[in-house]
Structure 1
Amino acid sequence: MTGRRSGLTIAAAIIVAISVLVTAMLTVALITNYQHLGRLAKVVHLVNREYLEPVPFSTLVDGAMKGIVGSLNDPYSSYLDADQYKQLFEQIQGSFTGIGVYVSKRDVNKLVVVSPIKGGPAERAGLRAGDVIVKVDGVDVAELDVDVAVSKIKGPEGSEVQLTIFREGGQGFQEFTIVREEVHIPVVTAELAEQDKRIGIIQISQFNKIAASEVDRALTRFQQEGVKGIVLDLRDNPGGELESSVDIASHFIPTGPVVHIVDRSDGTETAYSTRDYIGLPLVILINGGSASASEIVAGAVKDNGTGTLVGTKTFGKGIVQMVMQLDGGAALKLTTAKYLTPHENDIHKLGIEPDVEVEIANRTDAHYLVEKQDENEDVQLIKALEIIQGKIQ
């Protein structure tokens, strides 16, 4: 009995020691945080009182919030003021005033053109996917948050913006002066292949709110027309909404998950599953401008073996952002999760390799502009049609 009491006493002492240690650690953390908050308040006070020029308090607070998000060192997270959030919302809805180009941060200090919008001023001026935007109107944008850089590229209709870009392949630095205009974002185009009317071609430019319903209509029409195979063109598609990509991918894989979403540090995982599988032979066209939601679709099809990926390696963006609206019209865009393919492959910064690699002529880099061209000249589409024809004959 004495030994048992001794053991209980030791256990109780250990528990008390652990409790004291945890309490001490929490106390230190609280003191440290209070010290930092006090330091922040003092900086705001000193700037407000001592800085040469008067600064509105709201400007200081906005700067503090941008600094907080900037400290994450995540090119996809940002604090959006009211104007920036309005621009983002307009783009999601399908139109905005600018030059018509999707950009992203390849790394923290490199603003890369993911893809120009078909028919937009950037495409007409000659910008290509893979171009690195170095300066906007003479201002270096390498260190800027991506949304701040985008706000500098956008502007009033009819105004000009000058871009300094760096282009790989030995072409070096180039200057572009582009007139801003209202850009309407084409979402989905669907047509029968000129070479073989049994094959339907669906091109998706981005996964916005209306993309899934437009793909639904296209597939219904193709089924009525007796289509026997599908080419899904995701080249230069920079992504968009998670739900839209899941809805569209669901048509092309029979059972199981489309994508796994893994939330922050606790590792909570959510699987989005399929619906409405159409069961037709499928080829997906991809390239270095295929990013994010495009990679969800391509990764789901590749893992399930229900289609063939043709083209070049995708961009490699395997993380998910949420846009959380704040008061005053501002918003916080924050990376909240990463996504994994159905086989739980992490493609972030890696991309997805095609099953059949087909390069564009005279280009060695992974990114290139897919120009609207005759079906007989598009070597990637030609290969896609050959693969589909081999499956339906």
Structure 2
Amino acid sequence: MSSRFQYTLVTLSGVLVALLLVGVLLGQNRPAPSSDPYRHLNVFTEVLAKIKSDYVEEPDMKSVSLGAINGLLVSLDPFACYLNADQYKQYLKTLENPKGGVGLILSRKYGYELSVVDAIPGSPADRQGLTTGDIIEAINGILTRDMPLAFADVLLHGEPGTEVELRVLRLSRPEPVTVKLKRAVVTPPPPEARMLDGETGYIAVTDLTAGKAEKVAEAVRELTGKGAKKLVLDLRHAALSEPAEGVVLADLFLDKGLIATLEGQKVKKQVFEASPAKTVYRGPLVLLTNRGTTGAAEIAAAALAANQRAELVGERTYGDAAMRKPVPAGDGGAVIMAVAKYHAPDGKAINETSVTPQHLVSDVEAPQTMDEEEGAAPAPPDLRQPEKKEDTVLKKALEILGGKADQAHAAPVAAPAAAAGKTLHKGA
């Protein structure tokens, strides 16, 4: 049985089990105000007792309980997890001093496997070809299926120059690939700004951490000073971010209108409106997105599209825009989860709807399926893809702007040798 088939079977089984657990714990409908919100815990306790007494072999009840907790959290938030006391201490230590990383942003959004949201451009992971949708089966030989997401990030960090070994599954391949990455510490690069022709400026933003929107504003001023009357803002692969920076970015291009709202059960509702005093550009604008466009970039894209300020070209975004924080637990551990969500101007939570461009254009070539049983040629030993000769997404953007389509030939984006993230637990 191939690893790909095993992965599919295990994933489907896991999803079914998770759905059953969530159904038992939360119920299919919102409970009536008078009902006991904890009444389903009795059922949960009974299920645990049945597992302990009747399962085919005596289980490790600690692992079963932790798996149930993390399964429940992931069903609510793909970036959520529970860390025990020791893991939480290591997590806080990594946040304070991240040392070296490999540039991976991880999630459990699709199924319950540890999957790649994106690899930060120029990072060790990016140079080895890891990309959105890849499954990380193991880190240094430790299986990740039941590993808390934030602890996976801890394992990916370490002293610069040291190696970490990943076992990676890509659904277009029959078997996992073992990849060794050398950790490094680098500051994410500034936005890349260049003229595509005499009137069209191009700005590529690969992260939206604190202060990066102001760097975009500087790039806009630079290009308009060179004669740019039309702009392309490339938010593809902008996965490393602090959500609030998306509000600042959108405000650079909006005179008026609602940008977003932020609201949670214990977070007071905040409404973000555009201010004309902060606007730096009012001309034609096209935004580029892909599956790695996440968080702050999604907030900006949703606001500019809803206010009819920009046209969006590319792929549907990842679907994650939330405020997260660790909530300490009584055992010394912590639950890391979303405490508030950002909503687009139409009122929909970006986490639930993502952002869909008006012009859907894929920037990824369809993968060639490898099937050993059919005698197909073996896959290359690494995950790197051939460099594309033409950027079809940028080409479409230039067509919309009336620019020169022949300027859309791919040009490498200046990027550092590696990258490390410090935004909560999302960059490793």
**TM-score (structure 2 length as normaliser):** 0.66
Quote the offset at 1:378 in angstroms. 1.2
Structure 2 contact 194–202 (Cα < 8 Å) conserved? yes
Q: 2:259 aligns to what?
A: 258
Q: 2:95 aligns to what?
A: 88
Quote the offset at 1:330 in angstroms. 8.9
Q: Distance in 2 between matches of 1:166 and 1:261?
A: 36
How many residues are matched?
A: 326
Go from structure 1 to structure 2 and tell me whether the alpha carbon gap of 1:90 and 1:256 turns closer, same or farther (over 3 Å shift).
Answer: farther
Structure 2 contact 257–307 (Cα < 8 Å) conserved? no
Q: 1:247 aligns to what?
A: 248
- For residues 284-308 of structure 1, the C-alpha deviation after alignment (integer angstroms, 9 at most, x for no partner) is 1101111121110111111111111
Q: Distance in 2 between matches of 1:386 and 1:301?
A: 19
SS in 1 for 2:220: helix
Q: 2:45 aligns to what?
A: none
Moved more, 297-306 or 314-323: 314-323
Structure 1 contact 317–348 (Cα < 8 Å) conserved? yes
Query: Match for 2:250: what amino acid?
Result: A
| Structure of higher RCO (CA pairs closer than 8 Å, 6+ residues apart) | 2
Query: Match for 1:320: what amino acid?
Result: M
Task: Report matched runs for 1:5-16 at 5 Å.
Answer: none
- For residues 161-188 of structure 1, the C-alpha deviation after alignment (integer angstroms, 9 at most, x for no partner) is 22112212x3243323323232314243
Q: Does 1:351 align with 2:354?
A: yes
Quote the offset at 1:160 in angstroms. 2.1
SS in 1 for 2:350: coil
Task: Report matched runs for 1:158-177 at 5 Å.
Answer: 158-168=161-171, 170-177=172-179
Q: Distance in 1 between matches of 2:297 and 2:162?
A: 32
Structure 1 contact 158–179 (Cα < 8 Å) conserved? no
Q: Distance in 1 between matches of 2:78 and 2:183?
A: 27
Q: Does 1:389 align with 2:392?
A: no
Go from structure 1 to structure 2 and tell me whether the alpha carbon gap of 1:361 and 1:304 turns closer, same or farther (over 3 Å shift).
Answer: same
Q: 1:50 aligns to what?
A: none
Moved more, 179-188 or 310-319: 179-188
Q: Does 1:146 align with 2:153?
A: no
Task: Report matched runs for 1:316-327 at 5 Å.
Answer: 316-322=319-325
Task: Report matched runs for 1:1-393 at 5 Å.
Answer: 72-73=73-74, 74-78=77-81, 79=83, 81-88=88-95, 96-107=99-110, 109-168=112-171, 170-193=172-195, 195-264=196-265, 268-275=268-275, 276-277=278-279, 278-322=281-325, 333-360=336-363, 362-363=365-366, 377-389=390-402
> Can you give the 5+ residue segments of structure 1 that lack an aligned partner in the other structure?
1-24, 34-59
Q: Distance in 2 between matches of 1:338 and 1:182?
A: 32
Quote the offset at 1:107 in angstroms. 4.6
Q: Distance in 1 between matches of 2:256 and 2:108?
A: 34
Query: Match for 1:112: what amino acid?
Result: S
Structure 2 contact 259–345 (Cα < 8 Å) conserved? yes
Q: Distance in 1 between matches of 2:120 and 2:303?
A: 25
Q: Distance in 2 between matches of 1:212 and 1:372?
A: 32
Go from structure 1 to structure 2 and tell me whether the alpha carbon gap of 1:75 and 1:343 turns closer, same or farther (over 3 Å shift).
Answer: closer
- For residues 240-283 of structure 1, the C-alpha deviation after alignment (integer angstroms, 9 at most, x for no partner) is 2122111111112221221111212x795321111323212111
Go from structure 1 to structure 2 and tell me whether the alpha carbon gap of 1:99 and 1:156 turns closer, same or farther (over 3 Å shift).
Answer: same
Q: Distance in 1 between matches of 2:93 and 2:384?
A: 29
> Can you give the 5+ residue segments of structure 2 that lack an aligned partner in the other structure?
1-33, 42-61, 369-382, 405-428
Q: Structure 1: which 4+ aligned runs deviate by more than 4 Å?
A: 64-71, 323-326, 329-332, 369-374
Q: Distance in 2 between matches of 1:323 and 1:198?
A: 47
Quote the offset at 1:373 in angstroms. 6.6
- For residues 36-87 of structure 1, the C-alpha deviation after alignment (integer angstroms, 9 at most, x for no partner) is xxxxxxxxxxxxxxxxxxxxxxxx9xxx999988864444234573432343
SS in 1 for 2:131: coil
Go from structure 1 to structure 2 and tell me whether the alpha carbon gap of 1:268 and 1:200 turns closer, same or farther (over 3 Å shift).
Answer: same
Q: Distance in 2 between matches of 1:66 and 1:89?
A: 28
**TM-score (structure 1 length as normaliser):** 0.71
Q: Distance in 2 between matches of 1:308 and 1:89?
A: 39
Quote the offset at 1:371 in angstroms. 8.7
SS in 2 for 1:314: coil
SS in 2 for 1:216: helix
Go from structure 1 to structure 2 and tell me whether the alpha carbon gap of 1:66 and 1:84 turns closer, same or farther (over 3 Å shift).
Answer: farther
SS in 1 for 2:207: coil
Moved more, 74-83 or 145-154: 74-83
Q: Distance in 1 between matches of 2:326 and 2:216?
A: 25
Quote the offset at 1:222 in angstroms. 2.1
Q: 1:3 aligns to what?
A: none
Aligned residues: CA RMSD: 3.8
Q: Distance in 2 between matches of 1:232 and 1:152?
A: 34
- Percent identity between matched residues is 27
- For residues 65-119 of structure 1, the C-alpha deviation after alignment (integer angstroms, 9 at most, x for no partner) is 999888644442345734323433556xxxx412222222215722211111222
Query: Match for 1:131: what amino acid?
Result: D
